[in-house]
Amino acid sequence: MTTTAPGPGYLTANEAVAFLSVKRATLYTYVSRGLVRSVPCPGGRGRYYLREDLERLKARSEAHAGRSGPDSDVERSSSRTFITQMSPEGPRYRGYAVAELVREGISFESVAELLWTGRLPANEAPGWPLSDEDRRDVLTILRRTCDAVALLSLPSAPLDVVRLGLLFWALQPHGTSAEDPGANLSEARALLRLVAALPATCRGPTRALSAARAPTLAESLAIAWPQAGGDSNAPDRVALLDRALTLAADHAVEPPTLAARAAAHAGGSLAACVLAGVEALSGDDHAGVCAELADWIEVLDTTAKVRQFVVERLDQGNPIPGFGRLAGADPRAVILLEAASSFAPAVRRVQHAIALVESARIFGEPGLEVGLVALAAALGLPPGAPAALLAVGRVAGLVAHVLEAEHRH
């Protein structure tokens, strides 16, 4: 039976996606963001969509596509990058497919160097050597962050302390990056070392300083998020954390990237530019998606309830966040979901994450955030860890974009 809209002021879902020339998952995303209003079908499944909103959205899209002039020239300049390109195989960092880098076991540190310099280091080194000054700066910022959290009763979610530590670093002068590229790379290494240790400040200064001295960045996170009841799988945990950081390192041009690049064009310091990108990352489209997905797989009691929840979302015309952003499957999510299922197949939250993926594919394929939430469940990471893991990894890419934007500025 063909569904008919209640009047000329509304379109059915099929009519709406045809009118906008988008996928159904994209239509659901517009609804979730408040761009398109909808009403339920009387006594049945599905929704009707307000034509007025659809026309406004289409006009805005067409106007944006035809823009010209100085403002759009700046925007296009900010969005041109040779760092990462999206392909059917997922992101390609400087021409290297990220899935291949993970399969070959290339460390996150080496991937960061690849993003920054365009060259993959020939020899894998266990961590980065920091100058005495940079090491002191990292430890100082960690102590300062711990003090602020304790004295001011600030939120201590992992992403919050990352943002706070970046702010403290940005307030402290670090060389003249525009005049000395070598100093810029040195600060970049110290900054990433700091960011990887900051989640440990949630457990106090002793744990944070220990994380800062870990041989690798993934080990810093393993110290911040120790395994409950033992450390028997530590090497495997570290390897999975390293893999997740590499997969999260960059996503070509999206709002966090544009925020960092815009700050660089305005002459901001490296840390200030990275902080701008992380602040954008902390919004509903990334950290918010992680939090919502993690909450669902925790609160829903059984896999059957997970599947029923997805059906109810579909009936209400509400999307499942984290699904359908790319045209096809996201290899990063595939890798992380397979890793989670293999590492801890009996863990309830992992089973719920897999059930969610199997049921929600009607909204599109799962994205990176879905994979990070599943991996965090498998590793038993604390609340807020998926978003922090995304932010720590993405700092590597944000630094690369800031360096590229400064070079062109």
Least confident of 9-13, 44-48, 177-181: 177-181
Burial 328-350 (b: 16+ CB within 10 A, else e): eebbbbbbbbebbbebbeebebb
Report residue 1's pLDDT band, with 50, 70 and 90 as the boundaries: very low
Listed ranges 76-85, 223-232, 290-299, 320-329; the one with the highest mean pLDDT = 290-299
Q: Which two tokens mark 270?
A: 């490296």
Q: Are 128 and 189 in contact (CB under 8 A)?
A: yes
Amino acid (1-letter code) at residue 140: T
233-280 pLDDT per residue, tens: 589 999 999 999 999 999 988 899 999 999 999 999 999 999 999 999
The phi, psi pair for 383, rounded to 5°, reads -55, 140
Given this model, what pLDDT does residue 314 score? 84
For the question of whether the overall pTM of this predicted structure is more than 0.85, the answer is: no
Handedness of CA 195, 386, 247, 203 (dihedral sign): positive
Q: Are 250 and 108 in contact (CB under 8 A)?
A: no
Greater model confidence, 382 or 124 = 382
| d(C-alpha 354, C-alpha 268), whole Å | 42
276-307 pLDDT per residue, tens: 999 999 999 999 999 999 999 999 989 999 99
What's the whole-number average pLDDT of the chain? 86
Report residue 181's pLDDT band, with 50, 70 and 90 as the boundaries: low
26-42 pLDDT per residue, tens: 787 777 666 788 887 76
Per DSSP bridges, beta strands 90-93 and 96-97 are antiparallel
- What CATH number should be reported for the domain whose range is 10-64? 1.10.1660.10
Report residue 72's pLDDT band, with 50, 70 and 90 as the boundaries: very low
Most distant CA pair in the chain, distance = 73
Amino acid (1-letter code) at residue 384: G
- Point out which residues pair with 337 in neighbouring strands: none
Given this model, what pLDDT does residue 77 score? 45
Q: In sequence order, what are the residues at sequence separation of 6 or more whose Cβ sits closer than 8 angstroms to the Cβ of residue 2?
A: none
% residues pLDDT > 90 (the chain): 59
Least confident of 95-109, 135-149, 231-245, 382-396: 231-245
| d(C-alpha 248, C-alpha 71), whole Å | 30
Given this model, what pLDDT does residue 2 score? 47
Residue 321 has pLDDT above 50, yes or no: yes
Residue 47 in 3-state DSSP? Answer: strand
| d(C-alpha 369, C-alpha 322), whole Å | 6
